[in-house]
Amino acid sequence: MRIAVLGAGAMGSVFGARLALGGAKVTLLDVNAAHLAAIAARGLIADLDGTEHRLPLAAMTPADFTGPADLVLLFTKVFHTDAALGAIKGALGDAMVLTLQNGIGNAERIAAHLPADRVILGLTMTPAEFLAPGRVASHGAATTRFYSADGQARPILDDLVAVMRKGGIDAKADPEIQAAIWEKAAFNCAMNAICALTDGTPGGIGALPEALTLAQDTAAEGIAVARASGIAASGERVRALIDHAAAHHLLHAPSMLQDRKAGRRTEIDALNAAIAERGAALGIPVPINRMLTTLVRLAEAMPAYRQNTAGARP
Ligand code: NAD
């Protein structure tokens, strides 16, 4: 299987490495010139569960990619989806596009670029770290699930599961993928946004009963929006996930907190903001997600505001 990984940062490079180990012909596509140069010079170095792999993968910018590909694995941050897919428009041919990005609305964003029956939608709990240009790491088994966005069974799903498993990814074709995606998003809306705003961790949330209630109420709004959208997401499963994280992932720093600390843009638009917008459209009350969206956007905007107003009177 010829797979182009579009957005070969932490996740894209880890998946690219594992897919290559599984026998796929992998091309990494990214706009990070230092990363591309390091891969061209030394190959992609991937520490996978403590074993270092040096993989001589093809790596180039999306604009330089001419195809062909059977599958494009989209792993940019959500807010770069349009630019990335736009850049490979001429090379897409009749490739399927798989997204394992976080948040909701990913299938719709991709379907703006190609027919909806070529979109595969999924999620992964695999952790990945970008250590340096040309070097990534991932530790710990975690599930990856996906299915055709239109709900149809297709042979490529089984082929992809086989390649992923051969490469060490715990992959599964899951017709209930929409519910799983909304459950993960509801969980992330709670844990990511609250931690990002408070420099908090799941354990810290668990240690303050009213913070745990806030997290559960945030997620419950997301589940209510999912169910009003006709998606059978389970509030019970998400409650249990939050309780588990609060009791066991004591000092974990969620990605939105890491992004805030590094001054990077967050994926709030695909998480709390998406819940707030869809809830408003459906008449489902979403006051907590609306407030968390505003606070995260304010936190993101403040450094530029301070810089632009430096020297002004207090
Ligand atoms: P990342 O920032 O490490 O990687 C994104 C890559 O996209 C970068 O290398 C960037 O240069 C590249 N990019 C930006 N614009 C591009 C463009 N126009 N064309 C091609 N490439 C472009 O992010 P990540 O941590 O790998 O996350 C990717 C997605 O996976 C996100 O949606 C994230 O929420 C999700 N996710 C991450 C993890 C994790 O542990 N890191 C786990 C689960 C899900």
Per the prediction, the chain carries an average pLDDT of 96
User: 240, 183 in Cβ contact below 8 A?
Assistant: no
What is the percentage of the chain residues whose pLDDT exceeds 90? 97
pTM of this prediction? 0.96
What is the percentage of the chain residues whose pLDDT exceeds 70? 100
Q: Is the CB of 22 under 6 A from ligand 1?
A: no
* pLDDT at residue 312 tops 90: no
User: Would 2-175 and 178-307 be classified into the same CATH topology?
Assistant: no
Dist. CA 94 → ligand 1 center (Å)? 24
Closest residue by Cα to atom 9, ligand 1, is 9
Q: What is the pLDDT of residues 145-171, one digit of tens each?
A: 999 999 999 999 999 999 999 999 999
* 184 belongs to the catalytic site: yes
Hey, where are the domains in the chain?
Answer: 2-175, 178-307
Q: What is the pLDDT of residues 83-110, one digit of tens each?
A: 999 999 999 999 999 999 999 999 999 9
> Which CATH entry fits the domain spanning 178-307: 1.10.1040.10, 3.40.710.10, 3.90.45.10, 1.10.10.10?
1.10.1040.10
How sure is the predictor about 314, in pLDDT bands with cuts at 50, 70 and 90?
confident
Q: Indicate which atom in ligand 1 lies nearest the CA of residue 129.
A: 41
Q: Give me the pLDDT at residue 136, please.
A: 98
Q: Indicate which atom in ligand 1 lies nearest the CA of residue 101.
A: 32
Task: Please count the CA atoms within 13 angstroms of the CA of 136 that sit on its side-chain side.
Answer: 23
Strand partners, 99: 74, 121
Tokens read off for 310: 């430096």
Please count the other Cβ atoms lying within 10 Å of the Cβ belonging to residue 214. 16
According to CATH, what is the number of the domain 2-175? 3.40.50.720
Using most ligand atoms within 8 A of CB, pick from 27, 76, 256, 265 the residue to mutate for ligand 1. Answer: 76
Q: Is the CB of 184 under 6 A from ligand 1?
A: no
